[in-house]
Every structure is written in C-alpha cells, then in structure tokens.
Amino acid sequence: MAPQSIAVVGLGGIGGVAAAALHLAGRHDVLACVRRPPGPLAFRHPDGVTPVALRCLADPAEAGPVDWILLCTKAQDTAAAGAWLRRLTGPATRVAVLQNGLGHAERVRPFSGEAPVVPVVVYFNGERSGAGEVQLRRVAGHDMAVPDDAHGRAFAELLRGSLLGAHPAPDFPTLAWRKLLINIVANPLTALTRQRQRVLRRPDIHALGLALLEEAMAVGRAAGAALAPDEADRVWATLMTFPEDAGTSMYHDIMAGRSLEVEALTGHVVALGERYGIPTPLNRAMLVLLRATADGIAEASTAR
C-alpha cells in the first residue's frame, strides 16, 4: 500500500492510541483533528512509553480531503464532528468508524455521503489522561475486527507494521453484536458504580450482568446475530480476561463529568427489543438510571 493520508477525528482514548500507533509506524501521514490542540503526548503501550508529536488541526475549515478518516468520537458526538467529515471527505476517501454500538455507516452517511464506510469493532482499551498520556491496554485476541471485504482488508493493511492490528472477519455482524453485549454490561456497571472493571469480579454484579445479557441476547438473535446458547457465559469469560484496572469508556466519561454513550448501547438494545416485541425490563431499568445520570451531568455542566 502506498503512503496514505489519514485524519483521526477525536483524539481521546481510542483516537489517541490509533493516531499514536499509526504515527509511530511511520508509513503514513497522520493528522489529528481536535477541538483543542493537545500538548505533547506520551504514548504508553506494552513495550514502553514513547513521546509522539502529532500534527493537529483544530479548525475544520483548514482541512481538505484525505485517503482515510478514522472517526474516533463517541457515537453521540458524530453530528458535532460532521464539519470535519464534510471537509475531509473527497472522491477517494474511506471512513473507518471506531465506535461502539451498531449502525456505524448510518451514523456517518449524512456527513460523508457516498464514501465507503468501514465499521470497526474495537477490542483494545484506550485511556487518555489529563496529564497528556494516552495508554494502550491490550486484550487477548485481536485489537480490532472489520468486515472481510475490500475496504475492511484495506483498513487492516493500513495498520500493518503498527502496534495495532485489525482482523477481517466474515461473521462481522455477529462480532459486532458480541461487542455490544460486552458494552451493555461492562460500561453501565462500571459507570453507575463508579468503579473500574474490578467491580465485575463481584458475584452480585456477575449475576446482574448475566441477566442483562440474556435479555439482550434474545434481541440480538431476533436481529439475526448467530449467538451461541451459552453466549452470556462466554461474554463474561471474555470480560474476566480484561485487565481489572482498566476502566471503560463510559466509566471515564462519568468520572470526568462528560456526556454518556447511552443511546447507542443500552438504548439501542431497548429500542430494538420494543421493535421485535421482546421484553428487556432490566436493560430498561439501566437505561432509566443512565439517562437520569446523564441529565444530571448535563445540568451540572450548564450550572458551572
């Protein structure tokens, strides 16, 4: 693959790790599109800590079309990043969406038009600290999964030689559902308890998590995902392989008083449950708590 121009939109946990890894690999021209230019960044990864000096733009009006856009904002911030997507998209642009949830292409099409979209299931854990550090925590298995088509394979090739890899997966829709299952338990349970993933080791949280998963799995199966009969146990076993000192993206948001990615995760499962006539009372209860918490955060930030 010839050197590509890559714009990473959103330099948080995931965007920070992706931009740093691609920049360090040195094969491509990486630009970070941010709201506020960050100071110097230190990239903490399994092999050590490396300083990275990323080229940054803070004004979409200064951006032009690139080969690849990596959209790394929260799902609810996609529209706010629309000005970046419009300016960065040209006839040869592909958009990789590194966001949790489903429906990646539908979220970005209003802003990137006909550009091919690569939905990316992200498995690695990324954390951006206020101290100018971005940290990659690896999990067992692949860092990311993409559809096994020409654009997905091109995304995997883009990352070749970097600290991150993407696996082109023929059963991508089921993998995306499996990831959503992880997110409808790990994210709300860490955020609402304000504890990192260690809290998932509690037997009472385990029991609640399995019950949330059983409801969501019924919805996933109705939506066509090929989930195993013992999928809930498998999801929990996967969660137990994650570092217990890792947070989740929603945990970091609640601790920092930022908006919460509620509707794309628990909200989506509850909405699909309604569509298919599948009851999801426990997820609905989580949704009420998450929405009330998110509203409280918004009110507190307006009052400041």
Ligand X SMILES: CC(C)(CO)C(=O)C(=O)O
- Positions that interact with ligand NDP (CB under 6 A): 9-15, 33-36, 72-75, 77, 80-81, 84, 98-100, 122, 125-126, 128, 249, 261
Which residue from 92, 98, 226, 250 is spatially nearest to 172, judged by alpha carbons? 226
Residue 249, both tokens = 């993206």
- The set of residues, in sequence order, having a beta carbon less than 8 Å from that of 62 and lying 6+ positions away, is none
Q: Which one, 113 or 257, has the nearer CB to ligand NDP?
A: 257
- The entry of ligand NDP, ligand X, none near residue 292 (CB within 5 to 8 angstroms by kind) is none
- Inter-CA distances, 223 with 33, 55, 69, 218, Å: 35, 42, 29, 9
Which residue from 176, 25, 29 is spatially nearest to 98, judged by alpha carbons? 176
Kindly state the DSSP code that residue 60 receives in the 8-state scheme. Answer: G
Q: Which one, 67 or 143, has the nearer CB to ligand X?
A: 143
- The entry of ligand X, ligand NDP, none near residue 74 (CB within 5 to 8 angstroms by kind) is ligand NDP
- The entry of ligand X, ligand NDP, none near residue 78 (CB within 5 to 8 angstroms by kind) is none
Residues that bind ligand X (CB under 6 A): 100, 125, 182-183, 186-187, 248-249
Residue 281: CB minimum distance to ligand NDP, A:
24
- The entry of ligand NDP, ligand X, none near residue 73 (CB within 5 to 8 angstroms by kind) is ligand NDP
- The entry of ligand NDP, ligand X, none near residue 186 (CB within 5 to 8 angstroms by kind) is ligand X
Q: Which one, 139 or 218, has the nearer CB to ligand NDP?
A: 139
Residue 127: CB minimum distance to ligand NDP, A:
6
Residue 82: CB minimum distance to ligand NDP, A:
8
Residue 241: CB minimum distance to ligand NDP, A:
14
Whether the Cβ atoms of residue 101 and residue 264 lie closer than 8 Å to each other:
yes
CB atoms within 10 A of CB 142: 19
Cβ-closest residue to ligand NDP?
A: 12
Instruction: Report the interhelical angle of 266-276 vs 203-222 (nearest 10°).
Output: 50
Q: Which one, 15 or 188, has the nearer CB to ligand NDP?
A: 15
Residue 240: CB minimum distance to ligand X, A:
12
Residue 100: CB minimum distance to ligand X, A:
5
Per-position DSSP letters for 204-268, written without gaps between them: HHHHHHHHHHHHHHHHHHHTT----TTHHHHHHHHHTTS-TT---HHHHHHHHT-----TTTHHH
- Looking at this protein, which amino acid is placed at residue 103? G
* CA–CA gap between residue 252 and residue 246 (Å, rounded): 10
Q: Which one, 3 or 132, has the nearer CB to ligand NDP?
A: 132
Kindly state the DSSP code that residue 197 receives in the 8-state scheme. Answer: G
Q: Which one, 75 or 156, has the nearer CB to ligand NDP?
A: 75
Residue 71: CB minimum distance to ligand NDP, A:
9
In terms of phi and psi (left: phi > 0; alpha: psi -120 to 50; beta: otherwise), the region of 208 is: alpha
Q: Which one, 98 or 117, has the nearer CB to ligand X?
A: 98
